[in-house]
Structure 1
Amino acid sequence: MTTITQTSRLGDRTVRRIGFGAMQLAGPWVLGPPQDPDAARAVLRRAVELGVNHIDTAQPYGPDVVNELIAEVLHPYPDDLVIATKVGGARDAEGGWIRASRPEQLRATVEQDLRSLRLEHIDLVNMRFGVGGPEPDTIPLAEQLGALTDLRDEGKLDLIGLSTTSADVIKAALETTPIAEVQNAFSIANRTDEPVVDLCREHGIAYVPYYPLGSAFTGGPKALAADPSIASVAAKHNASASQIALAWLLAHYDRMLLIPGTSSVAHLEENLAVDSIQLDAEDLTALDHVTHLGAPSF
């Protein structure tokens, strides 16, 4: 039996391993207000009531809409709540995603996060790469991390993470500053980032997978439910295929932190029930046969 712990370390903080990704609280295409503002507020309240103390957000979600909603519902924040944001991207006048990775842009995004979240400092800020297209970023990594470490020295943020990144970038970053977390695409059906997970394991860095249930490009939860190995384990545990896929992630690395997003209280509660699922060796062997699907790059 693999014992799945319910809490883990994120930098110097202890958080519940299933947190909440707030992106889906914005309107369609992550723009504008939620279609059902009362439901969005209810999800945030219920998440904290059920012990979530790690919320992931970003200024471009809305823009500002999600941050302002979090502040409206949860401020003044519980003492143990960790709020993580990300920098490196922005939205243009038409709502498209554009790169915003110059040092002055990183600073401006953090300052806007502070205002919209009503915070004096942000617990964790991820440097997000690859926004706005696949072309290499021409801004040197040292300048980007320098901007974030300056903000940390000024007391405006505590921890630094990296998102949509490679093992080489992580190694280079570690020569400059401690890295608290890495956010990359990873799931039971997309394990191409395994070398990065191994690197995080080696350095004790939290790993936060996005697309933890796959993506629309790879079939998402429907594809998971159609996999016979996942379906078999799900039936054994009286769980959904999505719950088993999330439980596998928790069993895979003890500092794997999940931030599934939803605008539904019922779906939130289903996600949070995952940390009570204990997968045994037989389950894990069966799940090793899950078909690996590719993940989109963007």
Structure 2
Amino acid sequence: MGNTSLTFKLGELEINRLGYGAMQLTGTGVFGEVADRENAKKVLQKAVEHGVNFIDTAEAYGPQFNETLIADALYPYKENIVVATKGGFNRPGPNNWVPNGTPDFIRQNIEGSLQRLKVETIDLWQLHRIDPKVNVEETLAPVVEAVKAGKIRYVGLSEVTIEQIKQVQNILPIVSVQNMYNLANRQWENVLDFTAEEGLAFIPWFPLASGPAKLEDKIKQIAEKHQATVAQIALAWLLKRSANILLIPGTKSIVHLEENMKASEIELSAEEFSSLSN
């Protein structure tokens, strides 16, 4: 991408900014086992072949099936592979997500993730949601313990406000924030800018939403000019938007995966970038 760096330092870890989100490699409603397991393994292996070294998963994906799948596909992990996971959601059924920040549950999540991913240290463990029913200090107590014990290297948060980030930073250091953000939905613009100032990674989930109808024609025109897909332009815009953005587009298709990976080759002009930003 010309002058835009395609790597980001997550603590000591050098991450390629175009990563892979594994959530789609599960059953319907992010529940149960993925329909075609062999294909899912191939997608993960292909992602790594294409230079992906940051893979995002969660205890809640499946639940648990997704982490096991990643280990089956990629273990023993190549030296520079960072597998990031999350904890803090009960999954009573498909599309059903219930925050659970009780210390016992968080502790179980961490221990379970270590086993399923077959690692002694989780490179990045993220709190999937702050549970409004539990004091966040209580929720994070087992995380602080796990960091001290060497079971977690770095900690991140998900779907949080600036105030919540500051509150957690008083309890323990964090390196990343994962909030929803894409061309269509920029409600967390202030959080993105705050993380950039703080030197934290910002990991937009649902990065491929290509935007409101009013943007559609603009994106199509720009995509045609670059001989690219709309999804590639949406990713290229995010890469250009801020140097601390790590992308985790997910897909079940090797063709789409390879398409997404090419987004890093697209250099949007300042004019194209601002026409999509307005």
Please indicate the TM-score interval, normalised by the length of the shorter structure.
over 0.9
Normalized against structure 1, the TM-score is what? 0.88
Question: 2:31 touches 2:95 (CA, 8 Å); kept in 1?
Answer: yes
Corresponding residue number in structure 2 for 1:8: 8
CA offset digits 1:12-56 (Å, max 9, x no partner):
211110111111111111122211112111101101111110001
* Runs of at least 5 residues in structure 2 that lack an aligned partner in the other structure: none
Change (3 A) 1:229 1:144: same
- Within 5 A, what are the aligned runs for 1:26-37? 26-37=26-37
Question: What CA RMSD, in Å, does the superposition of the two structures yield over aligned residues?
Answer: 1.9
Identity value in percent: 39
Question: 1:88 touches 1:100 (CA, 8 Å); kept in 2?
Answer: yes
Question: 2:30 touches 2:94 (CA, 8 Å); kept in 1?
Answer: no
Q: Which amino acid aligns with 2:45?
A: R
Matches of 2:203 and 2:215 in 1, distance apart?
25
- Within 5 A, what are the aligned runs for 1:210-221? 210-214=205-209, 221=210
Change (3 A) 1:225 1:34: farther
Corresponding residue number in structure 2 for 1:119: 119
Q: Which amino acid aligns with 2:163?
A: D
Corresponding residue number in structure 1 for 2:232: 243
Corresponding residue number in structure 1 for 2:182: 187
CA offset digits 1:234-280 (Å, max 9, x no partner):
11111111111111111011010000111110111111111111111
Q: What count of residue pairs does the alignment treat as equivalent?
A: 278
Question: 1:11 touches 1:206 (CA, 8 Å); kept in 2?
Answer: no
Residues 59-68 or 101-110, more deviating? 59-68
CA offset digits 1:103-153 (Å, max 9, x no partner):
1111100111111111111101111216xxxxx612112222222111110
SS at match of 1:243: helix
* Runs of at least 5 residues in structure 1 that lack an aligned partner in the other structure: 131-135, 215-220, 290-298
Matches of 1:225 and 1:95 in 2, distance apart?
29
Give the C-alpha shift of residue 94 in structure 1.
Answer: 7.2
| Larger RCO (CA within 8 A; separation ≥ 6) | 1
SS at match of 1:85: strand
- Within 5 A, what are the aligned runs for 1:45-194? 45-92=45-92, 96-129=96-129, 137-194=132-189
SS at match of 1:275: helix
Q: Which amino acid aligns with 1:32?
A: G
Matches of 1:93 and 1:228 in 2, distance apart?
38
Give the C-alpha shift of residue 222 in structure 1.
Answer: 8.0
Matches of 2:270 and 2:53 in 1, distance apart?
30
1:276 aligns with 2:265: yes
Matches of 1:262 and 1:94 in 2, distance apart?
19
Give the C-alpha shift of residue 213 in structure 1.
Answer: 2.2
SS at match of 1:80: coil
CA offset digits 1:144-187 (Å, max 9, x no partner):
22221111101111100000111100111122222110000111
